[in-house]
Amino acid sequence: MWTYTAPLRDMRFVIEEVLRAPEAWSGMPAFAELDGMTSGQILEEAGKFASDVLAPINGAADLQGCTWSDGRVTTPAGYVEAYRAYIEGGWSALACAPAFGGQGLPMLLNAAFNEMIVAANHGWTMYPPCCTGPMNASPRMAARH
C-alpha cells in the first residue's frame, strides 16, 4: 500500500527560517493574526489529510481508473469521499478571501498544501481544479485581483 509522510520539518524550515513568512505576515493586515504556531498547525493538518485520506486510495485508484458507462463517468473508489473530506475540511478555499467563503490564508500555505496532496495522490489532485479554475475565472473573483 502507498504511504505518504509530509516533509513538515522541511516545509516549516523554509517558511519560518528561510522566508521568515510569519514575520512578514505580522505586517500585513490580512495576515496580522497568523503566527508560526498557527501556520504550523495548518501544515500538520494538511499533512494528515494527504497521508490519511489521499495516499491510501492512490495505488488502487490508479489500477481501477475511471469508467464511462451509460453517459456517466465513475471515478475510482474513494475519490468521492476524499473530495467530500477536502471540501468539508476547508482545503478548497484555503487562500480564498473570506468574503467569498475562503479562509483568507497566504498563498504560501496553499502552495505547501498543494505540494503535499500532489505527492500523496497526483491522480486525485487533478480533480479539484475542475472547480477552482472556473471559480477563479469568474468576474466576481477577478474583481478582487
Q: pLDDT digits over 89-129, tens only?
A: 999 989 988 888 889 999 999 999 999 999 999 999 988 76
Domain membership flag for residue 112: yes
Q: Are the CB atoms for 80 and 88 separated by under 8 Å?
A: no
Domain membership flag for residue 98: yes
Domain membership flag for residue 111: yes
Q: Which of 86, 106, 82 is nearest to 32 (CA)?
A: 106
Domain membership flag for residue 101: yes
Domain membership flag for residue 144: no
Domain membership flag for residue 31: yes
Q: Are the CB atoms for 116 and 50 separated by under 8 Å?
A: yes
Total structural domains within the chain: 1
Domain membership flag for residue 116: yes
Using the 8-state DSSP alphabet, how is residue 96 labeled?
S
**Residue count (the chain):** 145
38-89 confidence digits (pLDDT tens): 999 999 999 999 999 999 999 887 888 889 999 998 888 999 999 999 999 9
**Domain carrying residue 103:** 8-133
Q: What is the pTM of this model?
A: 0.86
Which residue type occupies 139?
P
CA distance 5 to 83: 20
Domain membership flag for residue 3: no
Cell of 95: 487562500
Which CATH number fits the domain that encloses residue 44? 1.10.540.10
